[in-house]
Amino acid sequence: MKKILVSGGAGYIGSHTVRALSEVGYGPVVLDSLITGHREAVPGNIPFYLGNIADEDLVSDIIMKEKVSAVIHFAARSLVGESVQKPDLYFEENTAKTHRFVSTVLQCGVNNIVFSSTAATYGNPEKVPIPEESKTEPINPYGASKLMIEQSFYWLEQAYGLKWIALRYFNAAGAALDGSLGEDHATETHLIPLVLKTALGQREAISIFGTDYDTLDGTCIRDYIHVLDLAEAHIRALEALEQGVPCGAYNVGTGTGYSVREVIAMARRVTGIDIPVLEAPRREGDPDSLVAKVGKIQKILGWQARYSDLETIIKSAWQWHQKHPHGYGI
């Protein structure tokens, strides 16, 4: 059984990927600081290490003891607003710690790494759908911290033979179809969980940030990708690295965008609840439309989204929120 070290495996996307890895016969090993992750999101039979990716002794011990053959690296800070307030935190936690982590991984003789990157590396896109070769000019420190990692991987590849794939996620959403794993952030900022928390009566209304964008209904358009499809993309990326595909960045999205109003309309339909809405000013730094061009991942990794129609995304998220109205541990 191939052992895969999953950093951040107790987080939202990480925990779904750990489950998917087990289902297809890999042996995931989780390293998580639990600063934002949840111990309950990782089954008891999966090896779990509490700690920091920059702890060289811990990381080498895990790799040797567990006989790790590849790494999937999720562990990171991921709040755009926080990154604007505290850029130093993001360059330390994401860029610097990843550098130390990957150096240790390479020193231990492990060369294959799948990295969770983001569409925030593009900044305001020149054209939509966004191809991977678009200019990358992040408009916040979060996107910059991830782009710097991608760039460092290129040079580690040239010098030491690092084999890497960076998956640039668009809008991760949804939950395990039975609602047993899902999204639980201490500070929730994302549209779909906030809409569903409003449906549960935990919030009075969902604010629509901006109704005067240059889109059909005036609200922002995003490419929502089901977390199960994201998990599958990581497995395809692992397999592709073993087969020697070119290293680099791959978009993970559907190629189809939905507006904020369309998301709310679908949530009303799925929940049967007339979710109250407030029209609010624009949120700083939101481009009007972010949609992935997805030909590269489909062609080279042979990946296709299977669960990312808006109805399946919202139905699965609704299962999770109904079963776990206050997240994990409840």
Dihedral sign from CA coordinates of 297, 299, 300, 305: positive
With contacts defined by CB under 6 A, name the span among 17-25, 37-45, 57-65, 203-211 that binds ligand UDP: 203-211
Does the protein bind ligand UDP through residue 283 (CB under 6 A)?
yes
Nearest distance in Å: CB 323, ligand UDP: 21
Single out the catalytic residue among 90, 142, 250, 307: 142
**256 contacts ligand UDP (rule: CB under 6 A):** no
The continuous run of DSSP H or E covering 112 comes out as: strand 112-118
Token readout for 107 is 């020193």
Question: Looking at beta carbons only, is 66 or 262 nearer to ligand UDP?
Answer: 262
- Which residues, 60 to 89, sit near ligand UDP by CB under 6 A? none
Which is closer to ligand UDP, CB of 222 or CB of 293? 222
Quick one: which segment of 41-49, 84-92, 204-212, 297-305 binds ligand UDP (CB under 6 A)?
A: 204-212
- Sign of dihedral through CA atoms 272, 231, 284, 256? negative
Query: Applying CB under 6 A, which part among 47-55, 106-114, 190-198, 240-248 lies near ligand UDP?
Result: 190-198
CA-CA distance, 300 to 298, in Å (whole number)? 6
Residue 269 makes contact with ligand UDP by CB under 6 A: no
Alpha-carbon span 30 to 58, nearest angstrom: 12
Distance of CA 213 to the CA centre of its chain: 26
> Mask 100-139, x = binds ligand UDP (CB under 6 A)?
----------------------------------------
Q: What is the distance, to the nearest Å, from the Cα of residue 282 to the centroid of all Cα atoms in its chain?
A: 24
Helices (H), 126-211: 141-160, 191-199
Residue whose entry in the numeric block shows the structure tokens 């811990």: 58
Shortest spacing between CB 327 and ligand UDP, in angstroms: 17
Burial (Cβ within 10 Å: 0-12, 13-18, ≥19) of residue 311: exposed
Catalytic residue list: 142
Residues that bind ligand UDP (CB under 6 A): 171, 189-191, 194, 206-209, 220, 222, 260, 283, 286
